[in-house]
Structure 1
Amino acid sequence: MAAASRILIIEDDISIAELQRDYLEIHSIEADIVTDGFEGMTRALKEEYDLVIIDLMLPSMNGYEICRRIREVKNISLMIVSAKKEDIDKIRGFGLGADDYLTKPFSPSELVARVQAHMKRYKQLTNVGQRVEFIEMGNIVVDKAARKVFVLGNEITFTTKEFDLLVFFMEHPNRVWTKEQLFRQLWFMDDLDGDVFTVVVHIGRIRDKLKKGKLSDLPIETIWGSGYRFNHTITPWEERF
């Protein structure tokens, strides 16, 4: 029997945290609650969790700092849950390593759906028996088993969702995908409440990291009025395989 998924909830409003935990446990997802920011960050680093749900406004340490510190050490899924609704707040959260951003108030069933989607996608991409280990296109090499990306031979660190999105593009080159299609494919749900903005931010982050990796020609193109495409021309060397 497969081990139950395990979630850490860092939320100072105990009534909200307990509601989240109850709904997750109904769906066979174990959930621990921590109400202090620093304590939550420490526990996330010391113990093994599949995903961490993080409120932004917390005692002793805010959610942004928690995201940053966890991401420096672990490549697990991070979900921000906050009443902050501005795009700048979401951009900052994604920039510090969050994979998703859910705005309060929300239905507990939506939280469960998002958690399940993140874990489903992660397990698909880490199931060694069902995938090619390496993808190489141009000057980008992805090691799917180790979840590492190399650009011009140098390793570039990607968050969980950035990695998933890059792999998806590389596995489906030269096809145009709309923001809505990418959201459904990577987050396993419909484009709820305008959350396709998440896709735009993640693509921007991927491009920035490829630029920092000294990649001159960025393969992810914007097709105005349509969506995005990973542009890849097969070289004679690749055609032999």
Structure 2
Amino acid sequence: MLIESSLEDEPFRLPSSVEQQTKATMSVPATTILIVEDDPDIRRLVGDLLRREGFAVEEAQDGFAMDAVFARTRPDLIILDLMLPGEDGLSICRRIRARDALPILMLTAKSDEIDRVIGLEMGADDYLVKPFGPRELLARVRAILRRGSGPTISAPTRRYGFDRFIVDLDARELVREDGDAISLTTGEFDLLSCFVQRPRRVLTRDQILDWTHGRSADPFDRTVDMLVSRLRKKLDVASPGSKLISTVRNGGYLFTAPVKPVA
């Protein structure tokens, strides 16, 4: 059983007040989640769960079917299984990242630690190990979407300059001083935001994981290390020799550049 039985056992009944509120806001476009999973039972259970929570759901059993979905719509998040027939999840993740910063939550098996690390290197924003419960799945999905959402209209602008870059935390944009935009995934931007708001301060992996993912850190979680590696490479390419992120032995990571507000 790849998903905990609670997905089937829990009724997920909404209080009448929530049902009324949901009906009143049906005109608001729903967030769309694409499930790429070859197991029809898992696909159905996860899809039903997400629909009950108010999400619009698209389903695909492999990379070919996923491309068909992309041809007609762009989802807000992809739940991508690692083991797929034909093109596997790692290849699909790499292919998506080559053209889009779309958030990706990768599903993996407990025995696939190396593949999980590779998945993060390929650009996945987070991973979830099978078997998993509905609450954990929803928490991961909402955390990724929350981190990737744009600023509210009334939110004050937070723009900062460092090295040769300007970052807008509300618009979630990173540009060089010459105006060239730097493409970052959701996870990479969250990590940069964490560093920019805490410059010249050693941050442990647990602190970074908690601040960026909003959950307790797993001592074996490699998410932070992979995100740091990816972000470091992109900053180094855009600003050669800057060495903006240092590794502190037995400590964590240090953002070395001074950071100042930009009007």
Do structure 1's residue 18 and structure 2's residue 39 form an aligned pair? no
Write out per-residue CA displacement over residues 199-241 of structure 1, whole angstroms, 9 at most, x where no aligned residue: 111011111222222431322222333322222336xxx6997
In the TM superposition, what is the alpha-carbon distance from 1:178 to its structure 2 partner? 1.8
- Three-state SS of the structure 2 residue aligned to 1:20 is helix
The residue aligned with 2:216 is 190
The residue aligned with 2:230 is 205
User: Residues 117 and 187 of structure 1 are in contact (CA less than 8 Å); yes or no, is this contact kept in structure 2?
Assistant: yes
Cα 1:19–1:134, aligned 2, differ >3 Å: closer, same or farther? Answer: same
In the TM superposition, what is the alpha-carbon distance from 1:131 to its structure 2 partner? 4.4
CA distance in 2, matches of 1:30, 1:191: 30
Write out per-residue CA displacement over residues 120-179 of structure 1, whole angstroms, 9 at most, x where no aligned residue: 1112x5445424253211212224566443346444332221122112211222333221
CA distance in 1, matches of 2:122, 2:240: 22
CA distance in 1, matches of 2:225, 2:205: 7
Question: In structure 2, what residue type is equivalent to 1:69?
Answer: R
User: Residues 160 and 262 of structure 2 are in contact (CA less than 8 Å); yes or no, is this contact kept in structure 1?
Assistant: no
Could you state the TM-score of these two structures normalised by the residue count of structure 2?
A: 0.78
Identity of aligned residues (%): 34
Do structure 1's residue 138 and structure 2's residue 163 form an aligned pair? yes
Q: Which one of the candidate residues 200, 203, 222 is aligned to 2:247?
A: 222
In the TM superposition, what is the alpha-carbon distance from 1:51 to its structure 2 partner? 0.5
User: Residues 152 and 215 of structure 1 are in contact (CA less than 8 Å); yes or no, is this contact kept in structure 2?
Assistant: no
CA distance in 2, matches of 1:25, 1:45: 22
Cα 1:78–1:44, aligned 2, differ >3 Å: closer, same or farther? Answer: farther
CA distance in 2, matches of 1:194, 1:226: 16
Q: Which has the larger radius of gyration?
A: 2
CA distance in 2, matches of 1:240, 1:30: 38
In the TM superposition, what is the alpha-carbon distance from 1:30 to its structure 2 partner? 2.6
Cα 1:91–1:192, aligned 2, differ >3 Å: closer, same or farther? Answer: closer
Q: Which residues of structure 1 form unaligned runs of 5+? A: none
Q: Which one of the candidate residues 65, 68, 74 is aligned to 1:39?
A: 65
CA distance in 2, matches of 1:192, 1:3: 35
Question: In structure 2, what residue type is equivalent to 1:96?
Answer: M
- Three-state SS of the structure 2 residue aligned to 1:101 is strand
Q: Which one of the candidate residues 58, 65, 86 is aligned to 2:84?
A: 58
The residue aligned with 1:120 is 146
User: Residues 219 and 232 of structure 1 are in contact (CA less than 8 Å); yes or no, is this contact kept in structure 2?
Assistant: yes
In the TM superposition, what is the alpha-carbon distance from 1:193 to its structure 2 partner? 7.0
In the TM superposition, what is the alpha-carbon distance from 1:20 to its structure 2 partner? 1.2
- Three-state SS of the structure 1 residue aligned to 2:98 is helix
Do structure 1's residue 83 and structure 2's residue 109 form an aligned pair? yes
User: Residues 82 and 103 of structure 1 are in contact (CA less than 8 Å); yes or no, is this contact kept in structure 2?
Assistant: yes
CA distance in 2, matches of 1:83, 1:168: 29
Write out per-residue CA displacement over residues 38-82 of structure 1, whole angstroms, 9 at most, x where no aligned residue: 111341364131110011222342212222222233222111112
CA root-mean-square deviation: 2.6
The residue aligned with 1:69 is 95
User: Residues 44 and 52 of structure 1 are in contact (CA less than 8 Å); yes or no, is this contact kept in structure 2?
Assistant: no
Cα 1:212–1:53, aligned 2, differ >3 Å: closer, same or farther? Answer: same
The residue aligned with 1:165 is 191
In the TM superposition, what is the alpha-carbon distance from 1:25 to its structure 2 partner? 2.6
User: Residues 143 and 214 of structure 2 are in contact (CA less than 8 Å); yes or no, is this contact kept in structure 1?
Assistant: yes
Could you state the TM-score of these two structures normalised by the residue count of structure 1?
A: 0.84
Cα 1:33–1:192, aligned 2, differ >3 Å: closer, same or farther? Answer: farther
Considering fraction of residues, name the structure with more helix: 1
User: Residues 37 and 84 of structure 2 are in contact (CA less than 8 Å); yes or no, is this contact kept in structure 1?
Assistant: yes
CA distance in 2, matches of 1:45, 1:74: 14
Do structure 1's residue 231 and structure 2's residue 256 form an aligned pair? yes
